Amino acid sequence: MEIAALVKRIERLEERSAYQDQTIDELVEVVNDQRKSIEDLRRESVRLKEELQQVEELAINGEQQEPPPPHY
């Protein structure tokens, strides 16, 4: 191979490598954003589960403690 052909090939490989580095950086950012979203959703799920348990407990306890309605 000629030197010029090798230089051109190296340049193309360097361009490709730079493009791949940029793509990897973008994908890392997307993955980090998704990780944050998943963690936020997990926390919200736990919070809603706890809130639902409290509502269920209040409903069960409220039914047992509520006095019967007056009869006329």
- 42 in any annotated domain: yes
Number of domains in the chain: 1
- 12 in any annotated domain: no
- 22 in any annotated domain: no
Q: How far is CA 53 from CA 4, 6, 26, 66, 69, in A?
A: 73, 69, 41, 19, 27
For residue 42, the enclosing domain spans 27-62
Q: What is the pLDDT along the chain (72 residues), one digit of tens a residue?
A: 799 999 999 999 999 999 999 999 999 999 999 999 999 999 999 999 999 999 998 888 876 665 667 775
- 51 in any annotated domain: yes
- 4 in any annotated domain: no
Is the full-model pTM beyond 0.75? no
